């Protein structure tokens, strides 16, 4: 699927009822990156609230609390519509952030190796 968000620093692909967002080009999800991707991610979550939204974190080396907040909002939008959020390909240091914050208990995290 060609993305309606082609001007964004991520790619979007559809596979049946699953939409995959590849964030790997960003490398660092700091405040600037989060400000750039927050609204598009929330729009995708709203549009796809009945399906599965999979976020590919392959290559992401750093994640801030504002990105965690964004993920919580995306998760809530999807859950309200009966959909689900899946996080995949987390680097060990990023996965550790989810464990320390206990968010690994909230999110569905697939442990594919990067």
pLDDT tens digits along 11-40: 999 999 899 999 999 989 999 999 999 999
What is the distance in angstroms between the CA of the first residue and the CA of the last residue of the chain?
A: 24
| Measured CA distances, 43 to 49, 90, 109 (Å) | 10, 23, 21
Name the one residue in this structure whose structure tokens are 């559809």. 14
Work out the pLDDT band at 8, boundaries 50, 70, 90: confident
Work out the pLDDT band at 6, boundaries 50, 70, 90: low
Name the one residue in this structure whose structure tokens are 């796809």. 48
- Determine which of 1-10, 61-70, 104-113 has the lowest per-residue pLDDT on average: 1-10
Residue 7 has what pLDDT? 66
Output the pTM of the full model. 0.88
The per-residue b/e assignment along 13-52, b for 16 or more CB within 10 angstroms, e otherwise, is eeeeeebbbbbeebeebeeebbeebbebbeebbeebbebb
């Amino acid at each position: 699927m060609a993305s309606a968000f082609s001007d964004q620093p991520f790619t979007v692909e559809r596979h049946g009822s699953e939409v995959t967002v590849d964030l790997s080009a960003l490398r660092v999800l700091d405040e600037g990156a989060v400000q750039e991707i927050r609204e598009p991610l929330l729009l995708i979550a709203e549009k796809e609230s009945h399906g599965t939204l999979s976020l590919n974190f392959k290559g992401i080396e750093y994640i801030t609390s504002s990105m965690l907040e964004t993920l919580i909002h995306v998760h809530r939008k999807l859950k309200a519509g009966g959909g689900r959020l899946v996080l995949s390909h987390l680097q060990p240091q990023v996965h550790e952030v989810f464990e320390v914050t206990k968010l690994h208990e909230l999110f569905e995290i697939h442990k594919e190796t990067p």
